[in-house]
Amino acid sequence: MRELPRPRLVSSGNRRARSVSVLVPTIASMVFAITGCSPEHAICGGDEYPVLNVGSTGRACVSNGDEPPKGYIPYPKGKVPEHVGDKWDTYWQSHTVDESGRTIEAPES
C-alpha cells in the first residue's frame, strides 16, 4: 500500500504573511464598497444619458441614441447632472419639470 504524503507544517511567519496577503485586498475591497472607487460616481454609464421623470425627481439612464421612456424627458441643456452630489444632481433633488417642460419645484413626497 502506498503511503500518503505527510502534510507540510507552515511556520507562523508564513501564516502571518499569508494572512496579511488575504487581509489587505479584503480591506481594500471593503473601503471601495463603502466609499466607492472614485469620489465622483457618474449618474449614468459612458454610453448612456440621464433623463428626468416629468412631475417628480425620479430619473433614469437611457442608451445613447434611444428615446426616453414615456413620462421622462432629457434634462434641460446646461442643467444635466453628471456625478452624484454635483451642482445639478443636488438641484434636481428639489426641482423637476412639468408637462410643458418648465422647471418647477418638486412636489412634496
More confident residue, 81 or 18: 81
> For the segment 20-32, what is each residue's pLDDT rounded down to a tens digit?
444 445 554 444 4
Nearest to 98 by CA among 76, 67, 68, 80: 76
CA distance 29 to 70: 38
CA distance 65 to 99: 23
0.75 surpassed by pTM: no
φ and ψ at residue 80, rounded to 5 degrees? -90, 125
Within 8 A by CB and 6+ apart from 22, the residues are none
φ and ψ at residue 64, rounded to 5 degrees? -50, 135
- For position 7, what pLDDT does the model report? 59
